[in-house]
């Protein structure tokens, strides 16, 4: 497996991988989980997929194994800012305005994480490997972009698994139901020491493209 950061600045080299990532998002969120999300031709994308976002893809060649999107909380595109803030403003009918227990920040040192997923066809061992690789990328982004913390909306069950990957998850809002899942907003910080204690084979979070040790799982 390897990890690739995708931005609008490197689409000339990674555009095909971004398409694969959007197709994997379609499978994970729409086909597998039944979420009602914007899509076309088997690709899932929304108003927050703009040049202000950065994408992480964990992949074997062109096969996506997991990924996420991060967006600064200072983002603004037409009427949209970022998902949690727009939910609080009442602009996203599927989410409660009480999604956060504090006013949504607009701070260059706080970014929103969204569309986090791991390939559900992988073995449990390989799924954990992918989560740990995602944790490495959170750590790298924190260092490179001076990010103090991330905000994320995810299911409570996914948050429990993510904690095992070296991420500190602190509840940032009440629990509520979305498409049959119990979800909650979280503040995320990276425990780099814990991350590398649990996954000593993973590389230090420095390069934009991180080769990951091949897992022996199926």
* Virtual torsion, Cα 46, 44, 168, 4, nearest 10 deg: -110
Residues paired with 54 in a beta bridge = 70
Residue 144's contacts (CB-CB under 8 Å, 6 or more residues apart) are none
Q: For the chain, what percent of residues have pLDDT higher than 90?
A: 62
C-alpha 79 chain-centroid distance: 22
Distance CA 168, CA 49 (A): 26
Distance CA 56, CA 209 (A): 10
Q: Is 193 helix (H, G, I), strand (E, B) or coil?
A: helix
**Residue labelled with tokens 């009442």:** 90
pTM score = 0.86
Determine the pLDDT at residue 210: 38
The pLDDT tens digits of the residues spanning 32-58 come to 988 889 999 999 999 999 999 999 999
**Shortest CA distance to 51 belongs to which of 4, 109, 11?**
11
The pLDDT tens digits of the residues spanning 129-185 come to 998 899 889 988 998 999 999 999 999 988 887 776 678 899 999 999 987 889 999
The pLDDT tens digits of the residues spanning 105-122 come to 999 999 999 999 999 999
Q: Is 100 helix (H, G, I), strand (E, B) or coil?
A: coil
């Amino acid at each position: 497996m390897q990890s690739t950061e995708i931005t609008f600045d490197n689409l000339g080299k990674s555009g095909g991988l971004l398409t694969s990532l959007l197709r994997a998002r379609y499978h994970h969120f729409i086909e597998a989980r039944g979420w009602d999300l914007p899509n076309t031709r088997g690709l899932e994308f929304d108003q927050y997929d703009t040049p202000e976002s950065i994408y992480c893809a964990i992949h074997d060649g062109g096969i996506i194994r997991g990924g996420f999107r991060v967006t600064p909380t200072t983002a603004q595109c037409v009427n949209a800012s970022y998902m949690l803030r727009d939910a609080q403003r009442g602009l996203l009918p599927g989410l409660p305005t009480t999604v956060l227990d504090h006013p949504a920040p607009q701070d260059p040192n706080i970014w929103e994480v969204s569309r986090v997923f791991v390939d559900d066809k992988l073995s449990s061992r390989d799924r954990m490997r992918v989560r740990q690789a995602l944790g490495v990328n959170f750590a790298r982004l924190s260092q490179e972009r001076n990010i103090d913390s991330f905000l994320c909306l995810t299911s409570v069950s996914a948050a429990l698994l993510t904690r095992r990957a070296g991420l500190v998850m602190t509840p940032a809002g009440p629990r509520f139901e979305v498409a049959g899942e119990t979800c909650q907003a979280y503040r995320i910080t990276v425990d780099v020491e814990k991350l590398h204690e649990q996954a000593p084979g993973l590389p230090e979070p420095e390069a934009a493209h991180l080769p990951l040790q091949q897992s022996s799982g199926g």
